[in-house]
Amino acid sequence: MVIVPAYNERKMIGKVLQDISQEIKGVGKVKIVVVDDGSNDGTGKIAKKYGVAVPRHIINRGLGASLATGFSYAHASGADIVVTFDADGQHRAKDIPRLIKPIIDRKADVVIGSRLRDNKTIMPFTRKVINWLSNMATFILFGIWTTDSQSGLRALSRWAIKLIKIRTQRMEVSSEIFKEIKRNKLRVVEIPIPAIYTAYSLNKGQRLSNASHVFWKLLLRLIS
């Protein structure tokens, strides 16, 4: 099951769903679910046109809450493998087969698509800094190292979904997932993926000014 958390992604959601649908065509029982996080620009309506499930948060709760809803839905639906996929066009559906392979082969419980393992792509400097700071924070707070703590492209086994408890609400969820991986002693593997940046996605993503706020939320999570 592919979970696509979306908040006001009217412009990109169609393309993203098309991309994923193309890739999973003929693979058999793969479903897409778009978690509409209180969008007020018609994102949910557009998504429904593609025949995918669209559970809707009536008010915006953030990426963390959206993923948690997606996981709940996936678990209840009996999904064996779950993929998280961004709705802003930063991910390529053709990376999905490579992403889920380690889980199918039973070599890992969680697979992270890391943009920093692929030397071919260029990441804007500020993004690299944010990413590096996040990686450091994840390591210091939770004791687990990853080359791309902020990547939204992940694959998780049913077992992982069951064990991972998401309590953070917003973007700090990326780091929290690593905390949960460590806590539950899940096997995690990274595969390289290209970093795709457009003016659109850069505008929507994380900001350096957000960093202290995210760090504080994660610290709270650690002690609460």
Partner 1 sequence: MLIQFSLLFFVIFALSRVILQLRQGNLTIGGFIFWIAVFFAAFIGILLPELTGKVANFLGIGRGADVIIYISIALLFYLVFRLTIALEDIRHEISELVRELALRDKRGRRE
Residue 78 touching partner 1 (CB under 8 A): no
DSSP symbol at 143: S
Smallest gap from residue 14 Cβ to partner 1 (A): 21
For position 219 contacting partner 1 by CB under 8 A, the verdict is: no
Residues forming beta bridges with residue 192, ordered by sequence position:
114
For the segment 159-188, give every residue that binds partner 1 (CB under 8 A): 167, 169
Residue 120: strand, helix, or coil? coil
98 near partner 1, rule: CB under 8 A = no
In degrees and rounded to multiples of 5, residue 157 shows phi and psi of: -80, 165
- d(Cα 100, Cα 1) in Å, to the nearest integer? 11
Q: Look up residue 183 and give its two tokens.
A: 């806590």
Least distance between partner 1 and beta carbon 48 (Å): 11
- Only one of the segments 70-78, 108-116, 147-155, 185-193 lies at the binding site for partner 1 (rule: CB under 8 A); that segment is 70-78
Looking at beta carbons only, is 72 or 201 nearer to partner 1?
72
**Residue 220 within binding range of partner 1, rule CB under 8 A:** yes
Q: Counting contacts by CB under 8 A, is residue 69 touching partner 1?
A: yes
Stretch of residues binding partner 1 (CB under 8 A), selected from 18-26, 56-64, 100-108, 185-193: 56-64
DSSP, res 83: E
Largest CA distance in the chain: 46
The count of other CB atoms within 10 Å of the CB of residue 14 is 15
Give the CA distances from residue 47 to residues 10, 29, 101, 198, 202, in Å, rounded to whole numbers and listed in that order: 9, 19, 27, 22, 22
Residues numbered 3-42 forming contacts with partner 1, rule: CB under 8 A: 35
Q: Interacting stretch for partner 1, rule CB under 8 A, among 7-15, 73-81, 101-109, 148-156?
A: 73-81
Q: How far is the CB of 49 from partner 1 (least distance, A)?
A: 16
Any idea of the CA torsion for 152, 158, 55, 47, to the nearest 10 degrees? 60
Question: Where do contacts with partner 1 occur on this chain (CB under 8 A)?
Answer: 35, 53, 55-59, 61-62, 64-65, 68-69, 72-73, 76-77, 167, 169, 217, 220, 224
